[in-house]
Amino acid sequence: MTSAGIPAVKAAARPTGGGRRLRLSWLGVVPFFAYVGVFLLLPTVIIAAGSFAAKDGSLTISNFTSINQPYLVKSFVNGAVVSVVSALAGGFAGALLAYAVVTGSPRGLLRRAVTSASGVLAQFGGVTLAFAFLATLGTTGVVTIFLKDHGIDIFPNGVWLYELSGLTLLYAYFQIPLMVLVFLPALDGIRPQWREATESLGGTTWHYWRYVAGPLLAPSFLGCTLLLFANAFSAYATAQALISQGNLIVPLAISNLLTSETGRAQPGLAKALALSMILIVTIVTVLYAVLQQRSARWLR
Amino acid sequence: MVSSSSGASSRPSARAGVEVRLEDLKRRYAGVTALDGLSLTLAPGELVALLGPSGCGKTTALRLVAGLEETDGGRVVFGGEDVTNVPANKREIGMVFQAYSLFPHMTAMQNVAFGMQLHRVGVAERRKRASDMLELVGLSPHAHKYAHQLSGGQQQRVALARALAIKPKVLLLDEPLSALDAKVRARLRDEIRRVQLEVGTTTLFVTHDQEEALAIADRVGVMQSGRLEQLGPPMTVYSRPATPFVASFVGLTNRLNGVVRDGAVEVRGTRLPLVQTDATNGPAVALVRPEAVTLAGEGDSTPGPLNGTVIATAFLGATSRVTVDLGDVTVLAQLATSDAAAHPAGTRVRLALRPDPVLIERDEAAPDHG
């Protein structure tokens, strides 16, 4: 080895010109922030600004006071009911399905099949889902007619498919697979040693779920259910394709207020409604993140 | 096992263990035999280590004793009571797992108290006994920390306290040190032994680490292919291995070709007495411990019969392991480090084999190797 070699290497590694090296690592996140800025922040700012603007452009809060109309309050309540019911149904059914999956082999066929199907079905909303239900469970749907031919009328008291209960059923269709996808990591974090430790300490299956697995999974379950609520509460395309008219839920009311064919569009009120929804979904999402963080600390 | 009444001391009383008998235990998984008629008796308060390579059946044996798996045959008996068909939660066992068994949403204190809670021990008694157990394992200052705030060694000490807090009939340790680094492992090993002696619970300790087993156990059981090859005190297992497998698995062994003749094996001019007294005459491989190999310098007044060259020395602390090349075979010699220093690499030495009883293998095709 030559002693001259060492300083030579050090000199080569030094930045030339005596200036500071440019830090370019932040360039990697530019596309992400550009995307978030254009498709999330900018629309939010436009909606926020529009919700405080009167038709003549002046500043006003009348758009928010106008929300307190019976039909709009009802659409909020309806939206909340559909979201809560479909989130709870999807949450419990999805959690059970996810639990069935984790009890099998990690690389088994059941797990691969369920996770792949869930990945597709969780995105299977909108017009295609509404059409699938209309074609099967609509008044002239295949299943409806088949059952009718066999003496079973699924609409004895009117066509519930186009009402809240029908919408809830449709939402559950994509809520269940979504729950499977978001709840699986928490279930994977549960270690078999905890059940065996409970047993060796004298505990039963009930004790295990009551004192160990239940408390460990509760934050994640609650967080995931909140996510399902936000998912349903902000859904538009499925309801629009299924029902198309009326103000059953808030997104449909917003649509009607923006696209009135009789020249009575109220974009300011629509934006006030949208901003209210954004606030609700933001609160729910923050709660979800907090609960997930708590759960992740335990189930690493 | 757990009493809600407050005694003079909340620690388990000394020699609280019961006799544990494993009788002809059998277990198969999908056609593969994991346990092939294992029989073993642990005296009250005794610590027996089951030692063996992966897949030898030692963990299966422990899980059958715990009741976490069902037997395909045989019996498990605690203190005269057949518990073979008793579920794990009614067997009155304490168990420490390899790692990650603490409940992460509970503090160390809550973990230790959990078993007592399941047994409906009163809150005050529960707290007192949990504090005592944490003190026993030296973790009182960490009582209110969660698992993720404790080191691996601390977590295993909490797991030990949790297992003992319910005053189990039997303590089962499933490789509890394998996930720890060497220094922590040695310290915790000694601590487990201290605590076990103090509480006197009959203990079955499963490990693949021979050093651990030899250091901690009253008796060591060496297992292979679902069977117990040898069971005995650590010294006996090491110095008088019953089978070639035990000789090669426990400690290092030189395998030297020789010839059995008239109740002894001749290895390169040295007659060594045989452990297997019924061995017939003929070629055999002698299993010679490195401690039974002595070295002397070429000019020494007590030369050995074999000439060789030192090719390497491994420093092990108080002793060193010297590798000597005899030309056609290398031989390991374990010497005091001060003696090994006299024979640095490249030195010509004379080598002798101490005439301790040795085991032989009938494997004539096997070449000599150290």
State the pLDDT confidence band at B144, using cuts at 50, 70 and 90. very high
Asked if the C-beta of B292 comes within 8 angstroms of chain A's C-beta atoms, the answer is no
Bridge partners of B94?
B171
pLDDT score recorded for residue A25? 81
pLDDT score recorded for residue A264:
73
Is B48 an 8 Å CB contact of chain A?
Answer: no
Return all residues near B358 (Cβ < 8 A) that are at least 6 apart: B265, B272, B273, B274, B275, B286, B287, B288, B292
Enumerate residues 57 to 76 of chain B having a beta carbon within 8 A of any beta carbon in chain A.
66-68
pLDDT of amino acid B10: 44
Q: Is the Cβ pair A202, B115 closer than 8 Å?
A: yes
Quick one: DSSP state of residue B306? E
Q: Which of B91, B118, B129, B156 to mutate to test the interface with A (most CBs of A within 10 A)?
A: B118
Sheet holding B270-273, edge to edge: B270-273, B264-267, B254-261, B282-288, B359-361
Query: Which residues from B are below 8 Å from A216, CB to CB?
Result: 103-105
Express each pLDDT in A23-71 by its tens digit. Answer: 788 888 999 999 999 999 999 999 999 999 888 888 888 989 988 889 8
Q: How confident is the model at residue A161 (pLDDT cuts 50, 70, 90)?
A: confident
Chain B residues inside the 8 Å CB shell of A202? 1-2, 89-90, 92, 115, 118-119, 166
| Cβ-Cβ contacts under 8 Å, B117 against chain A | 211
DSSP letter, residue B315: E
Taking only the tens place, the pLDDT of each residue in A226-269 is: 999 999 998 888 888 887 677 788 998 898 888 876 667 788 99
Tell me the domain boundaries of chain A: 28-60, 70-127+173-298
Q: Give the C-alpha separation, B203 to B205, whole Å.
A: 6
- How close A215 comes to chain B (CA, Å)? 8
**Residue in A198, A207, A215 nearest the CB of B105:** A215
CATH of A70-127+173-298 among 1.10.3720.10, 3.40.50.300, 3.10.20.30, 1.10.357.10: 1.10.3720.10
CA distance A289 to chain B (A): 18
Contacts of B167 in chain A (CB under 8 A): none
Instruction: Name every residue whose Cβ is closer than 8 Å to that of residue B9 and which is 6 or more positions away in sequence.
Output: B132
Cβ contact B100–A297 (<8 Å)? no
Read off the pLDDT of each residue in A137-157 and give the average, rounded to a whole number: 88
pLDDT at position A248: 80
- Report, as an integer, the average pLDDT of B135-145: 92
In this complex, do B89 and A204 lie within 8 Å of one another by their Cβ atoms? yes
What is the structure's pLDDT at A10? 42
Cβ-based neighbour number of residue B156 at 10 Å: 28
- A33: tokens are 């922030």
User: Which of B1, B97, B105 has its CB closest to that of A197?
Assistant: B97
Cα-to-chain-centroid distance, residue A105:
28
Cross-sheet strand order for the sheet of B93-96? B93-96, B170-174, B202-207, B47-51, B219-224, B227-232
Give pairs for B123-128: CB < 8 Å, separation 24+.
B125/B4, B125/B5, B125/B6, B125/B10, B128/B6, B128/B10
pTM value is 0.78
Is the model's pLDDT at B13 over the cut of 50?
Answer: no
Closest partner residue to B118 among A201, A297, A298, by Cβ?
A: A201
Give whichever of A178-182, B2-6, B251-255 has the largest mean pLDDT. A178-182
The residue ranges of DSSP E strands in B316-354, in sequence order, are 319-325, 330-336, 348-353
β-bridge mates for residue B224, sequence order:
B227
Look up residue B57 and give its amino acid.
G
Q: Do B89 and A199 touch (CB under 8 A)?
A: yes
Structural domains of chain B sorted by starting position, each given as residue range(s) with its CATH number in brackets: 20-244 (3.40.50.300), 252-361 (2.40.50.100)
Q: Which chain A residues are within 8 Å of B178, Cβ to Cβ?
A: none
B93 and A CB contact within 8 Å: yes
Q: State CA B4 to chain mean position distance.
A: 36
For chain B, the maximum distance between any two Cα atoms, rounded to a whole number of angstroms, is: 77
Mean pLDDT of B192-219: 92
Q: Is B172 on the interface with A (CB under 8 A)?
A: yes
- What is the model's pLDDT at position B84? 95
Residue type at position B333: A
What are the E-state strand segments in chain A? none
| Residues of chain A contacting B, Cβ within 8 Å | 191, 193-194, 196-204, 207, 211-212, 215-216, 297-300
Selection from A93, A92, A78, A67 nearest residue A239 by Cα: A78
Residue with more model confidence, B281 or B179: B281
b/e A113-137 (16+ beta carbons within 10 angstroms → b): ebeeebeebbeebbeebbeebbeeb
Q: Which of A193, A203, A297 sits opposite B89 (nearest CB)?
A: A203
Provide the pLDDT for residue B300: 67
Q: What mean pLDDT do residues A175-198 have?
A: 93
The rounded distance, in Å, linking the Cα atoms of A165 and B40 is: 65
What's chain B's average pLDDT?
88
Q: Are strands B227-232 and B81-82 parallel, antiparallel or unpaired?
A: unpaired
In this structure, the strands spanning B348-353 and B359-361 are unpaired
Asked if pLDDT for residue B15 goes beyond 60, the answer is: no
Spell out which residues of chain B touch residue A198, defining contact as CB-CB under 8 Å: 89, 118
Partner A contacted by B288 (CB < 8 A): no
Nearest alpha-carbon partner for B66 in B10, B13, B27 = B27
Q: Which pair of tokens denotes residue A141? A: 């749907």
H-type alpha helices, B106-218: 108-118, 123-136, 152-165, 182-199, 210-216
Q: Give the count of beta carbons closer than 10 Å to the beta carbon of residue A296.
A: 15
Is A140 a residue whose pLDDT tops 60? yes
- Tell me which H or E stretch contains B265: strand B264-267
d(Cα A290, Cα B5) in Å, to the nearest integer?
43
User: What gap in Å lies between CA A142 and CA B119, rounded to an integer?
Assistant: 58
Chain B nearest C-alpha distance from A200 (Å): 5
CA B127 – CA A287 distance, rounded (Å): 34
Q: Sort out which chain A residues have CB atoms less than 8 A from B120's CB and list them.
A: none
Taking CA–CA distances from B98, the nearest residue in chain A reads: A193
- What are the angstrom distances between the C-alpha of B114 and each of A189, A297, B118, B122, B136? 21, 21, 6, 12, 17
Which residues, other chains included, contact A6 with Cβ-Cβ below 8 Å and sequence gap of 6+? none
Percent pLDDT > 70 in chain A is: 91
| B173 CA: distance to closest CA in chain A (Å) | 12
Comparing CB atoms, the residue among B68, B87, B104 nearest residue A196 is: B68
User: Do the chains contact at B95 and A197, CB–CB below 8 Å?
Assistant: yes
Cβ-Cβ contacts under 8 Å, A300 against chain B:
148
**Which whole number is the average pLDDT over B28-49?**
93
Q: How does pLDDT run across B148-165, given as a tens digit for each residue?
A: 999 999 999 999 999 999
Instruction: Give the per-residue pLDDT at A19.
Output: 53
Specify the pLDDT at position B16: 63
Q: What is the pLDDT of residue B186?
A: 86
Q: Name the residue among A194, A199, A300 with its Cβ closest to that of B103.
A: A194
- Cβ of B89 and A211 within 8 Å? no
State the pLDDT confidence band at B251, using cuts at 50, 70 and 90: confident
Nearest CA in chain B to A219: B105
Q: Residues near A119 by Cβ (< 8 Å), separated by ≥ 6? A: A177, A181
Could you give the dihedral angle defined by the CA atoms of residues B193, B199, B200 and B206, in that order, rounded to the nearest 10 degrees?
-40
Residues A162, A165: Cα–Cα separation, whole Å:
8
Is pLDDT at A4 greater than 70 in this prediction? no
B105, B119, B126: best to mutate for the A interface, most A CBs within 10 A = B105
| pLDDT-derived band at A3, boundaries 50, 70, 90 | very low
